[in-house]
């Protein structure tokens, strides 16, 4: 069975492939994703609290779902490629290029095709429950009303460290150099958040919890995974408990429905 780049694009619903960076002679290791043109609603103009919440979740959930679907496709593709290596089959140019791009994007330094590389990829190339994403976005962006959300499409308070890369926080210490990153779209912000949690050493514990749930074939539970986010905020466990309370109070786990998609003609369900 030959798996082409087109297969992964159709499955993931992407308009631009991770290999587009190579085609454009880009120096970036990050796969290029299709940008969302939809803009963040004017959340500050919505006075009713329940309406504000419903608007925020309705806007963000489809974007989160699309990113999770892309990751599901990548994960399924990796399983196919791993079997090819086990059968000592040679990857074609596109398969090898896409594998190299995924290794770079997810910051995996193990040799391509090695057992160690696939083990680390499976730990990193995995979904995040929508309920956790929605809770963090609401918490970090004050329901989409923060300066960083409105001016920079940044819903998760992600930092950058190159001068001019973002917005300078008010009250930043004189000896600090970080800025709050500006994104071209909300989708780009969500992609950045997923990559942050899936690759940064700070969130290795979240990935360990997720991997253990996978090993036990237990559906991913955002109230468990949240305990891997202690390093996300200086508030530590208080921050985690706040997220869990938001998830439970707003019944956000209703957004964590199993996803289906077809991969090479086979229907696959993910929890």
Would you list the DSSP string of 123-156? Answer: HHS----HHHHHHHHHHHHTTTTSHHHHHH--SS
Highest mean pLDDT among 13-17, 48-52, 255-259, 266-270: 48-52
pLDDT at residue number 131: 98
Prediction pTM value:
0.82
pLDDT at residue number 170: 75
Q: What is the pLDDT of residues 43-82, one digit of tens each?
A: 999 999 999 999 999 999 999 999 999 999 999 999 999 9
Alpha-carbon gap, residue 210 to 104, rounded angstroms: 21
Question: How would you classify residue 31: left for phi > 0, otherwise alpha for psi between -120 and 50, otherwise beta?
Answer: beta
pLDDT at residue number 8: 42
pLDDT at residue number 258: 60
Token pair belonging to 152: 């920079």
Residue 166 pLDDT class (50, 70, 90 cuts): low
Contact 137, 156 (CB under 8 A): yes
Residues 6+ apart with CB under 8 A from 100: 112
| Domains present along the chain, CATH in parentheses | 5-259 (1.10.530.10)
Alpha-carbon gap, residue 217 to 39, rounded angstroms: 37
């Amino acid at each position: 069975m030959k798996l082409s780049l087109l297969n992964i694009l159709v499955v993931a619903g992407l308009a631009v492939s991770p290999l587009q960076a190579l085609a454009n002679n880009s120096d970036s290791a990050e796969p290029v994703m299709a940008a969302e043109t939809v803009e963040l609603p004017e959340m500050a103009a919505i006075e009713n609290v329940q309406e504000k919440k419903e608007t925020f979740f309705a806007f963000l959930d489809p974007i989160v779902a699309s990113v999770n679907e892309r990751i599901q496709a990548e994960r399924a593709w990796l399983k196919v490629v791993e079997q090819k290596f086990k059968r000592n089959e040679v990857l074609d140019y596109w398969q090898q290029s896409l594998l190299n791009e995924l290794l770079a994007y997810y910051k995996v330094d193990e040799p391509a095709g090695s057992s160690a590389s696939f083990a680390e990829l499976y730990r990193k190339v995995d979904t995040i429950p929508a309920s956790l994403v929605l809770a963090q976005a609401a918490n970090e962006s004050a329901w989409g009303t923060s300066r960083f959300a409105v001016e920079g499409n940044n819903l998760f308070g992600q930092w950058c460290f190159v001068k001019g890369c973002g917005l300078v926080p008010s009250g930043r210490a004189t000896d600090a150099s970080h800025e709050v990153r500006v994104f071209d779209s909300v989708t780009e912000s969500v992609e950045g958040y997923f990559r942050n949690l899936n690759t940064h050493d700070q969130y290795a514990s979240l990935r360990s919890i997720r991997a253990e749930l996978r090993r036990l074939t237990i559906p991913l539970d955002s109230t468990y995974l949240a305990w891997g986010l202690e390093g996300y905020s200086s508030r530590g466990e208080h921050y985690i408990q706040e997220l869990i309370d938001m998830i439970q109070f707003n019944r956000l786990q209703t957004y964590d429905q199993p996803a289906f998609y077809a991969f090479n003609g086979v229907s696959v369900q993910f929890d």
